[in-house]
Copies of this chain bind each other. A is one copy, B any other.
Amino acid sequence: MKKIVECVPNISEGRRTEVIETIVDEVRKVEGVKLLDVNPDESHNRTVITFVGEPEAVKKAAFALCAKAAELIDMEKHKGEHPRIGATDVIPFIPVSNVTMEECVELANELGQEIAEKLGIPVYMYEEAAKIPERKSLPNIRKGEYEGLKQEITKPERRPDYGPPRMHLTAGATVVGARQFLIAYNINLDTDDVKIAKKIANSIREAKGGYKYVRAMGVMIEGRNVAQVTINMLNYTGTPLFRVFETVKSEAARYGVNVIGSEIVGLVPVQALLDVADFYLRLENFDRKQVLELNI
- Chain A interface residues toward B at CB < 8 A: 4, 6, 34, 36, 52-53, 96-97, 188, 241-242, 245, 259-264, 266-270, 273-274, 276-277, 280-286, 290-296
Known: A280-B276, A284-B188. A292 touches B270 (CB 8 A): yes
**Nearest residue in B to A98 (C-beta to C-beta)?**
B293
Is A4 within 8 A of B281, CB to CB?
no
Is A293 within 8 A of B281, CB to CB?
no
Is A285 within 8 A of B270, CB to CB?
no
Number of copies: 2
CB distance from A161 to the nearest CB of B (A): 29
**Nearest residue in B to A293 (C-beta to C-beta)?**
B270
Q: CA separation between A261 and B277, bound complex, in Å?
A: 12
Contacts of A4 in B (CB 8 A): 292-293, 296
Is B282 within 8 A of A262, CB to CB?
yes
Of the listed residues A241, A263, A281, A294, the one surrounded by the most CB atoms of chain B closer than 10 A to its CB is: A281
Select A277's contact among B273, B290, B293, B295, beta carbons within 8 Å.
B273
CB distance from A40 to the nearest CB of B (A): 21
Is A285 within 8 A of B263, CB to CB?
yes
Select A96's contact among B284, B285, B292, beta carbons within 8 Å.
B292
Is A280 within 8 A of B242, CB to CB?
yes
Contacts of A290 in B (CB 8 A): 264, 266-268
Known: A273-B273, A277-B277. A263 touches B283 (CB 8 A): yes
Contacts of A273 in B (CB 8 A): 273-274, 277, 291
Is A261 within 8 A of B245, CB to CB?
no
Contacts of A264 in B (CB 8 A): 283, 286, 290
CB distance from A281 to the nearest CB of B (A): 5
Select A284's contact among B245, B262, B267, B285, beta carbons within 8 Å.
B262
Contacts of A6 in B (CB 8 A): 292
Closest 5 CB pairs of A and B: A276-B277, A273-B277, A261-B282, A261-B284, A280-B280
Known: A276-B280, A281-B276. A293 touches B263 (CB 8 A): no
Q: CA separation between A34 and B2, bound complex, in Å?
A: 14
Is B52 within 8 A of A296, CB to CB?
yes
